[in-house]
Amino acid sequence: MPGQTASTLFTPRKFYSSNHAGKTSGVASDASDWDVPLEFDCSNIPQINITQELGRGVYKTGLLGVYHGRHVVIKMVTNSSYVYMKCVEERPDMPIWEKRCHFFVTMYIMKEILLLQQLRNPNFLGLLGFCARGDDIRSMSLKEHGVIAVYEYGDEVNVSDMKLWPFRRRLDTAIQLLDLAVYAEHSPLGSLRLGDMKHGNFLFVGSRIKFSDADLVTAEGHRCSSRDPDSRCVFDLPCVKNSCQGYNAKVNLMLIHQLFLTWLLDSSGLDEGINTSSSVIKSANKKLFSVQSELNVLNTTASSNGKDIYWKLVSIRRMLEN
């Protein structure tokens, strides 16, 4: 439609937690079915006051903004991004090539916007709105830049601090991460792998941990061939229709374990501040040990039942609440 930018053409998506997408998990998400309209579009994004640069990644630049006293994060692709500069270096004598590089890098932020329109889940950093005017990546002005996305603001994850948390807080965070893994496995877009998973791509918004960089989320698995011994699946996963079944879920769970669960599920302090019997504490400790044992053999077995581990952690929380 003439005169309309892309952000005005999208209708609000339904908020899905893993409670509702196939009923795959259940209790960890505090969301129910409710509409989450995007708050920002091309009309009010220029009213955000940029206060500082938060950092530059391979594709995007992150900026801290303030809107009516509230902190938000702005992401945009600029001509100083690593991928853009490498693209231009390939054909420095061709002006048309530079234009193609504009399209190429802009694709990544558009991909993230479109993905988050589908994956409206509380364990992904919330997309608050966007503006898509074109492919201009030179201007830093919010009135002129081509594609701008606005997200909720979160605090950096500090693993050293996590080790000092009370057990209940560590357990709740572990449940949220497992909820993310189960949702990614059973998402509306199929089984997804959370690409570029590292501490720096997680943030805390209040008490909830969220994955903050969705541009490398992919449904592509690991290719295999049952006929070629050199193209078999890792972890003894089954090869089904030339794809390693369960590969994305396996990798997600392994990385979440390596990055976080090793520290979060340490049993120290399990009985602190808990008003329950010693037998319940002993039973919770036994169940926690079972979860730890299952996670510790992820790299040597085809098993990767994130849903089962999720429910075991939820049952531990329920035991300690009674």
What pLDDT shows up at residue 68? 95
What pLDDT shows up at residue 304? 64
Distance CA 204, CA 156 (A): 6
pLDDT over threshold 70, residue 233:
yes
What pLDDT shows up at residue 204? 96
CATH 3.30.200.20 positions along the chain are 6-153
Q: What is the DSSP letter of 221?
A: -
User: Tokens 């049993």 label which residue?
Assistant: 267
Question: Of 214 and 236, which is predicted with more confidence?
Answer: 214
CATH 1.10.510 positions along the chain are 159-321
- What is the model's pTM? 0.83
pLDDT over threshold 80, residue 27:
no
% of the chain beyond a pLDDT of 70: 83
% of the chain beyond a pLDDT of 90: 43
Give, in words, the CATH class of 6-153. alpha beta
What pLDDT shows up at residue 71? 96
pLDDT over threshold 50, residue 30:
no
Q: What is the DSSP letter of 253?
A: H
Alpha helices in 73-166 (DSSP H): 82-90, 95-118, 159-162
What pLDDT shows up at residue 282? 87
Tell me the per-residue pLDDT of 188-211, one tens digit each, with 9 for 90 and over. Answer: 999 999 988 999 999 999 999 999
Tell me the per-residue pLDDT of 101-135, one tens digit each, with 9 for 90 and over. Answer: 878 888 888 999 999 988 878 999 999 999 998 87
What pLDDT shows up at residue 300? 66
Question: Residue 96 — pLDDT band, cuts 50, 70, 90?
Answer: low
Long-range contacts from 306-309, C-beta under 8 angstroms, 24+ separation:
306/178, 306/181, 306/182, 306/185, 306/249, 306/252, 306/253, 307/24, 307/25, 307/182, 307/185, 309/178, 309/253
Domain 159-321 falls under CATH 1.10.8: no
